Amino acid sequence: MFSFRNPISRAFATLALLLAVFAVLFPFVWVFMESIKPASLGGRPDLWVFSPTWENWNEVTLNSDVPFNILNSFAIALVTVLISLLCGAPAAYAFSRFRGFESARYSILAAEMMPPAILILPFFLVLYHLKLIDSQIGVIAAHLTFVLPVVTWFLIGFFDEVPRDLENQAMIDGYTRFQAFYKVILPAVRPGLGAAGVFGFVLSWNDLFYALLLTGNESRTLPVAIAGYWTFRGVELGKMAVAILIAVIPVLALSHSIQKHLIRGIGGGAVKY
Amino acid sequence: MQLKYKFILPLALLLSAVMLYPLAFSGWLAFHEYRLTRLDDVHFVGFENFVLIATDPSFLNAMGNTLIFVLGAVSLELVIGLSLALLLQKLNILRNFSRSILLAPMFVTPIAVGLMFRFLLNAELGVIPHYLSKIGITVDWFGPDLALFSLILIDVWQWTPFMLLMFLAGLEALPKTPYEAARVDGAGPWLTFSRITLPMLRSVIVVALIIRALDAFKVFEYVFAITRGGPGNSTETIMYYIYQTGFRFFRMGEAAAAAIMLITVILVLVVLLVKFSQAEEARK
């Protein structure tokens, strides 16, 4: 492969890369600065030197609904992911192993790509008639529409990589196919289950659209709460910055841990590298 | 029942409940006059909703805005993502450090991204206009001319990492022999890239483009967080249009018709893209 042997082009390349890193980091740095700015100085763009304060953090964590919103987001994402893994793992295994599922495989991908605009109307109406607007159950059902296909699709690629000899051997040893699946194959794809679970969790945690329309005071999730810090007046900006950081930091930490599995998952066995 | 169907039964049942049933319901809605404010007067209207939507200038405007958004965002993301992937691959210093940072935006909740940029780019109070004005540049990022473009830039900030992720993996998997042959023959970097790297990355590029484009059609959060469709309706996207029709004006039937037309447009585009890439393949 060619490389940047010429020191000048190498310098330019390094500069371009650093510029990209800066462009990514800058908003995060800014939002952290806003979160520790005293409320009276919020929204002063020229201000980088000030005495930092934790008043926004205290206000948001001790004196607002945000902890409750975090709890809602967390519970909804967790239940959604558990259901998705429970139903998605056996199906992904079947898609990977049995003949006759080729088109079913791609209908999973189609489901994953379905625009929420077409699903939200029936969801809203059904939940409205069931008196389940503003309940976690409705949001979980709605989040299943994208987390379940993603998790299933994600796992197909991981099952594809487990050699068939593994379950053949287990079945020779007297396991039924199903026993072979959950005693031998599932443990072998544990990293995949973890990565798919984390990815699905992040998708549910980050959703605004469904949560905005299906939740209320009793079930509001963190993204909807963030959208509620609306005005651009001193105090609110600092609090919004805190809420944003609270939403973003755990997700960044989680995603970092699954980085190396992401490609196999997103490819879903369809992209061969 | 055959064993293989038992494995997919839970998934099939659950997907029927949360997807097939709502889809059928939406199909039914699209042919009915169904207003949340007049629930006692729900009745069949045939294709009337489709006609209403298809002749509504704001639907066509929203469709146009969405297509510009998708095309602009996805092509910028493709070019920047591919360039960054090549840079990262060549520069072995900083590689792991930069990769982790550069991938971060794709995991951030889009409403947070929207709000961060709303304030970073705000004409009076934003940091970026503040420093731009110091070097004599005044840009109204969310004014009528630039607002849609600014939303595209925000999407580029958030989703170029996805392209980067796909291309990095694609580049890593490329065989080494063609490159050695090219070097022996004295091919320059540009020739090597356009004749070897690009053709070999083709399938990865097509998959990344399709995934990204379908996702970009769903853009809602940036519009909701920043412009609410404005100024005028210069940034009203199709998702925002459907949200308005269904949940601000309570016209569920028309919203369903609009959603079905959106899916039709998406399907046509996907089929065209796949056909095009197969034709390209066949040409070789």
Taking only the tens place, the pLDDT of each residue in B147-166 is: 999 999 999 999 999 999 88
Say if residues A201 and A254 touch (Cβ distance below 8 Å).
yes
Residues A145-164 pLDDT 10s:
999 999 998 899 889 888 98
What is the nearest CA distance from A48 to chain B, expressed in angstroms? 10
What is the per-residue pLDDT for A47? 67
What is the per-residue pLDDT for A84? 97
Count of CB atoms within 10 A of residue A156's CB? 27
**CB within 8 Å: B116 and A31:** yes
Between residues B30 and A5, the one the model is more confident about: B30
Residue B108: what are its φ and ψ, rounded to 5°?
-80, 140
Residue A3: what are its φ and ψ, rounded to 5°?
-140, 170
Q: Please name the residues in contact with B238: beta carbons below 8 A apart, sequence gap of 6 or more.
A: A117, B62, B63, B65, B66, B217, B258, B262
Interface of A with B in 48-107 (CB under 8 A): 83, 86-88, 90-91, 93-95, 97-98, 100-101, 104
Q: Please name the residues in contact with B108: beta carbons below 8 A apart, sequence gap of 6 or more.
A: A206, A248, A251, A252, B158
What is the per-residue pLDDT for A8? 83
What is the per-residue pLDDT for B95? 76
Q: Residue A9: pLDDT band by 50, 70, 90 thresholds?
A: confident
* Residues A240-268, mean pLDDT to the nearest whole number: 85
What is the per-residue pLDDT for A5? 67
Class of domain B46-171+198-283 (CATH, top level): mainly alpha
* Residues A112-136, mean pLDDT to the nearest whole number: 92
Model pTM score: 0.91
- What residue type is assigned to position B260 of the chain? I
* Spatial separation of the C-alpha atoms in residues B26 and A120, rounded to whole Å: 9
Q: Provide the percentage of residues in chain A whose pLDDT is more than 70.
A: 91
Q: Residue B264: pLDDT band by 50, 70, 90 thresholds?
A: very high
The CATH number fitting domain A63-267, selected from 1.20.1250.20, 3.20.20.70, 1.10.3720.10, 1.10.10.10 = 1.10.3720.10
Strand partners, B251: B35
Query: Rounded to the nearest 10 degrees, how much is the dihedral formed by the CA atoms of B29, B32, B35, B40?
Result: -110
Q: Determine contact: A263 vs chain B, CB below 8 A.
A: yes
Between residues B247 and B125, the one the model is more confident about: B247
Say if residues A222 and A172 touch (Cβ distance below 8 Å).
no
What is the per-residue pLDDT for A268? 63
Give the long-range contacts of residues B274-282, CB within 8 A, separation 24 or more.
B274/B210, B277/B202, B277/B206, B280/B202, B281/B202
Predicted complex ipTM:
0.89
Kindly report the average pLDDT of chain A as a whole number.
87
Domain limits of chain B?
Answer: 46-171+198-283
For residue A142, list chain B residues with Cβ-Cβ distance below 8 A.
Answer: 18
* Residues B258-275, mean pLDDT to the nearest whole number: 89
For residue A88, list chain B residues with Cβ-Cβ distance below 8 A.
Answer: 11
**CB within 8 Å: B166 and A263:** yes
Say if residues B77 and B161 touch (Cβ distance below 8 Å).
no
* Minimum mean pLDDT range among A243-252, B135-144, B205-214: B135-144
Give the long-range contacts of residues B130-139, CB within 8 A, separation 24 or more.
B130/A45, B130/A46, B131/A45
Q: Please name the residues in contact with A171: beta carbons below 8 A apart, sequence gap of 6 or more.
A: A177, A180
Q: Say whether B43 sits in a helix, a strand or coil.
A: strand
Q: Please name the residues in contact with A227: beta carbons below 8 A apart, sequence gap of 6 or more.
A: A208, A212, B111, B115, B224, B225
pLDDT surpassing 80 at residue A240: yes
* Spatial separation of the C-alpha atoms in residues A66 and B127, rounded to whole Å: 27
DSSP state of B249: S
Which chain B residue has the Cα nearest residue A228? B225
